[in-house]
Every structure is written in C-alpha cells, then in structure tokens.
Chains A and B, each alone.
Chain A
Amino acid sequence: MGSVAAFVPPLALPYISVFISVLAILMIAPVIMMYLTWLERKVIARIQDRIGPNRVGPFGLLQPIADGIKMVLKEDIIPAEADKVLHTIAPVVVVALSMTLFAIIPFGRNMAAADMNIGILFFMAVSSVEVIPVFVAGWASRNKFSMIGAMRAVAQVVSYEVPLAISLVTVVMAVGSLSLTKIVEAQSGWGGMHWHIFTPWGLLAFILFFITGTAEVNRTPFDTLEAESEVVAGFHTEYSGMKFALFQMAEFLSAFAICGMAVSLFLGGWNGPFLPSWIWFFAKTYTLFLVMIWLRGTFPRLRIDQLMNFAWKFLIPMTLVNIVAAALCLAVTPVISWPIATVLLIGAWMFFSTRELSTGGSIPSPSLVTDRG
C-alpha cells in the first residue's frame, strides 16, 4: 500500500483498505460457492455409486458456470397473488447476509476482513437475521405450502440458535475474548496440541457446533424444509430461475461460513507448519465441508418433530452440561479436571440420548411389509 498511500489523503486510507478487502471477498465468495456445488455433486455422486457431472468441461468443472447461465436465462414467474416486492427482495437479502458472514472469518494470518473484538456476537447476529428473509420468502409467495415451510424453517433455525450459541460460549471461556483472530492465535504453537478440539469440552463443543451448524443452514439431514420431496419445496416453492439460484447460493455460502467458523474456533484456524496460513485454512475448511457432504449422502432426513425434539431435548441439555464441564476444566488443573469432565460428558450423553425423543406414530412391523404372496 506504500505506493498508493502517496496519492491518497491519509484520512481515507483505512476506508480504502476496507473497500478493497470487501471487494476481494465479494469476488472470491461466488467462485468458492460455485466450486462447492461442483464438489458436492461429484462427491454425492460417488457416494451413490455414480459419476456426477462430467460432460461440461474436464471432470464437469465448467458445470457450475453452465448452471449459472441456465438460471439467468430462466423465466422468473411470480404468482399473481404474491407480494411482488417482497418476493424479489427476500433472496437478495439472504445472499447479502450470507456474504456478510465472511467479514469476520480469518482466512489466514492477518487475513480477516474485519478483526472485530465482538466477532462471535457478529456471527450470531448475522446468522440469526438470516431467518427473516426466509420467512418473508414463504410469506410473500402466498402459498400454503410455502407458509408452512417458512414457519417450520423459522422454528428450526430458531431452535438450533440456542445450542449453537451455547456451544460457542465454551470457546469464549477458554480464550477470554470474542474476537475470532484472538481465538485462532490462542490455538497456535505446541505442534497443534492447543487446538480446542483436543480438550474434552472442545471435542464435544465441536461436534455440537458442527451438528447445529448443519441444521442452521438447512442441510441434510435437517433439510425437511427445502428438499424437493418435502412439503413440495418448502418456502421456495414459488421461486424459479435466478431467485431460486440465489437461495441455493445463500445456503452454500452459509455452509462454508459455518465450516470456516468451526475451523477457526476448534481446529486451530490457519495454524499449521511450513505452508502459508491461508492454505491451511482452506484445506481444513474444505475437509469439514466434505464431512458435511458425506453427512448429506449418508443420512436420511429427520422429520420435523424429530428435528425439534433433537434440538430441545438433546442438544440444549448437552451444551449446558458442556459449559459446566468446560468451566471445570478451565478452573481446576487438567490432571484432575479432565477425567471428571470426560466422565461427566459421557454420562450426560448416555443419559440424554436415551430419553424418548420422537413421539410420532407407529412404524408398521416388518411382517406386514414382506408379504410375498
């Protein structure tokens, strides 16, 4: 910036650097998103014993571009009775919010766009606001299925906000700061053994954060609300063309942001030997995203009541117990506290996972199904 600084009044310099970093992230984010969709399609295909897109360009690498062009050229149908303004605004706002999440993620050493000292609160705030455009989309469509889908989406996201936030609290306790860059720096050194995932409370918090993050972005196995076979297509039933593509874009961006957060909070962020810091960050984040894709290809969907019970009756009690365990581990020396914490957490897991979680109807017995007569 030395050469530019000579031409620019010094007062404007921080604003110019802010503008450049925002522009850089807004340029990179869609490209990341496009190739995340490519990765997902290929990996899911392999899990399902097929190949995935391989016609458009080598290994189907130009497929996302072809998809983008197709989406732009599709007719944008807004139902006659829908609220046109809200119908159009909702997907745009969702994407803008998902991109805003990228502001605090530390992509590398000194590479976070904004080193806020309330980074984690910012993350919680933005991901909480994301649910509003989803509801607006369902409402504006003026379609019963969209309404049901939108309200269930709100109920789901809102129920999973609580364990998400509480599992973050343990990391904040350990580091004593809400700033993501400080949290990543606190995990440096000692050959990676300071990563939060290598503590009993950190491991559980990571698992809980990852599961709740997957539920927050409405990915399988929690995507009852937007999967094609459920409630028609949930809140985006009446969306076609580019607006639909914008919703998908927001989902992938949010999923990537959740993986980025999990890496920064629990897996040591950009820490790593030899290679540049941002390579480590992206390697870890893509690995976590591969795990998300793996979950999608493996698990069946949860029913809405199973999903809600899972949040309120398992995840929230587990996160509360985790706070107690983390507080114990941080106040008392590890030699004594870690075994106690581990026993406490395993005991709590065993207890809560055996509570009655799903209340819905009876499953027909196998003898009725295998009638070969």
Chain B
Amino acid sequence: MSPLLVLVMLFGGLGLVFAGMPLVVSRIFAPRKPSASKLETYECGTQTVGDPWSRFGVQYYVYALLFVLFDVEIIFLFPWAVVYRQFGVMALVEMGVFLGILTVGLVYAWGTGTLEWD
C-alpha cells in the first residue's frame, strides 16, 4: 500500500476518532433526561403535520441533473488543462468546441426557464 493511500485512510480514520471523542466525553458527562416534550420533533411550537419522509419538489432534481452534466464537463476539462501548454491554441479550439456545445445547453436551460427556482 502506498504511503499516500495510508495517509488518506489514516486521516479518515483518525479524523473520525478525533471527532467522535467529544461525543463519547459528552455521553459520559452530559445529563440525559428525556421527557416527552423534549423528544418531539420541532415545528415552531405546534403539533407536527404530515411526515417529512414523503414527497418533495422536483426543482432539486433539475439542479442535480444539471450539476451532473457540468461535472462531466469538468472531468474532461482537468486533463486537458494539465496538458494545455504543450499543445497551444489548437487545443483551445478543440476544447472551445466542447465547451461551446455545453454552453448551448446552459443557454437553453436558462432561456426555457429551467433555472428558475419555483
């Protein structure tokens, strides 16, 4: 295993331990007096209406979808950026075509009102 992989795993693991330690300390020292009113879900002081684990708006899906598209574009941009200097303006033209196609998509989404928050 390369040291870098070990480093990332150590960071994750030790980070979890370091973050979990205060919770453990809190479990030991903090009071725990559950009462019926404390355990209720918060809804501005009234009874809750409806279960939140049900439907939600579709606009969030639209934003996630657009993000996926642009994320794929980003994935293609990074390797191109690393080798850009060796290729010069021709590389710019080629990537410009790719970016242009995706920009048309963005302009379309903008124009048809897909980006509006409903």
Given contacts A76-B32, A162-B67, A320-B103, is CB(A96)–CB(B22) below 8 Å? no
Partner of B106, one of A74, A116, A317, A359: A317
Report whether A146 and B52 are in contact in the complex, using a CB–CB cutoff of 8 Å. yes
Residue A18, interface by CB 8 Å: yes
Residue A332, interface by CB 8 Å: yes
Partner of B22, one of A145, A245, A317, A324: A245
Q: Tell me the minimal C-beta distance from B64 to chain A in angstroms.
A: 6
Report whether B15 and A99 are in contact in the complex, using a CB–CB cutoff of 8 Å. yes
Interface string of A295-328 (1 = CB under 8 A from B): 0000000001100110011001100100110011
Distance, CA A366 to CA B20, complexed state (A): 52
Residue A284, interface by CB 8 Å: no
Q: Which residue of B lies closest to A72 (CB)?
A: B26
Partner of A18, one of B10, B30, B84, B92: B10
Q: Tell me the minimal C-beta distance from A260 to chain B in angstroms.
A: 15
Distance, CA A174 to CA B84, complexed state (A): 8
Interface majority SS on A: helix, strand, loop or mixed? helix
Partner of A316, one of B26, B38, B106: B106
Report whether A18 and B3 are in contact in the complex, using a CB–CB cutoff of 8 Å. yes
Residue A100, interface by CB 8 Å: yes
Chain B residues, CB < 8 A from A14: 3
Report whether A22 and B115 are in contact in the complex, using a CB–CB cutoff of 8 Å. no
Interface of chain B residues 60 through 102 with chain A (CB within 8 A): 60, 63-64, 66-67, 70-71, 74, 77-78, 81-86, 88-89, 91-92, 95-96, 99
Interface majority SS on B: helix, strand, loop or mixed? helix
Report whether A77 and B78 are in contact in the complex, using a CB–CB cutoff of 8 Å. no
Residue B110, interface by CB 8 Å: yes
Report whether B106 and A177 are in contact in the complex, using a CB–CB cutoff of 8 Å. no
Report whether B7 and A114 are in contact in the complex, using a CB–CB cutoff of 8 Å. yes
Distance, CA A151 to CA B38, complexed state (A): 25
Given contacts A159-B63, A313-B115, is CB(A26)–CB(B18) below 8 Å? yes
Report whether A308 and B63 are in contact in the complex, using a CB–CB cutoff of 8 Å. yes
Chain A residues, CB < 8 A from B63: 155, 158-159, 308
Residue A169, interface by CB 8 Å: yes
Interface-central residue, B39, B50, B74, B82, by most chain A CB under 10 Å = B82
Report whether B15 and A178 are in contact in the complex, using a CB–CB cutoff of 8 Å. no
Report whether A77 and B39 are in contact in the complex, using a CB–CB cutoff of 8 Å. yes
Chain A residues, CB < 8 A from B74: 124, 162, 165-166, 169
Interface string of A76-91 (1 = CB under 8 A from B): 1111111000001001
Q: Which residue of B lies closest to A250 (CB)?
A: B19
Chain B residues, CB < 8 A from A162: 67, 70-71, 74
Interface of chain A residues 117 through 151 with chain B (CB within 8 A): 120-122, 124, 139, 141-148, 151
Chain B residues, CB < 8 A from A332: 89
Q: Tell me the minimal C-beta distance from A72 to chain B in angstroms.
A: 5
Residue A246, interface by CB 8 Å: yes
Residue A51, interface by CB 8 Å: no
Report whether B14 and A22 are in contact in the complex, using a CB–CB cutoff of 8 Å. yes
Distance, CA A170 to CA B84, complexed state (A): 10
Partner of A312, one of B53, B66, B82: B66
Interface-central residue, A15, A68, A100, by most chain B CB under 10 Å = A100
Distance, CA A324 to CA B83, complexed state (A): 15
Q: Tell me the minimal C-beta distance from B83 to chain A in angstroms.
A: 7
Report whether A116 and B3 are in contact in the complex, using a CB–CB cutoff of 8 Å. no
Report whether A241 and B103 are in contact in the complex, using a CB–CB cutoff of 8 Å. no
Partner of B11, one of A82, A100, A320: A100
13 extra interface residue pairs, beta carbon distance < 8 Å, beyond A23-B14, A92-B23, A159-B67: A76-B23, A77-B34, A97-B12, A97-B15, A144-B43, A151-B60, A165-B78, A242-B22, A242-B25, A245-B22, A316-B70, A323-B77, A327-B84
Cβ contacts A to B, 19 pairs, < 8 Å: A73-B29, A75-B30, A79-B41, A97-B12, A113-B7, A166-B74, A169-B77, A172-B81, A176-B85, A178-B82, A237-B42, A242-B30, A308-B115, A312-B115, A316-B70, A316-B106, A317-B103, A330-B84, A331-B92
Residues of A within 8 A of B (CB): 14-15, 17-19, 21-23, 25-26, 30, 68, 71-82, 88, 91-93, 95-97, 99-100, 102-103, 113-114, 116, 120-122, 124, 139, 141-148, 151, 154-155, 158-159, 161-162, 165-166, 169-170, 172-174, 176-178, 232, 237-238, 241-243, 245-246, 249, 304-305, 308-309, 312-313, 316-317, 320, 323-324, 327-328, 330-332, 359
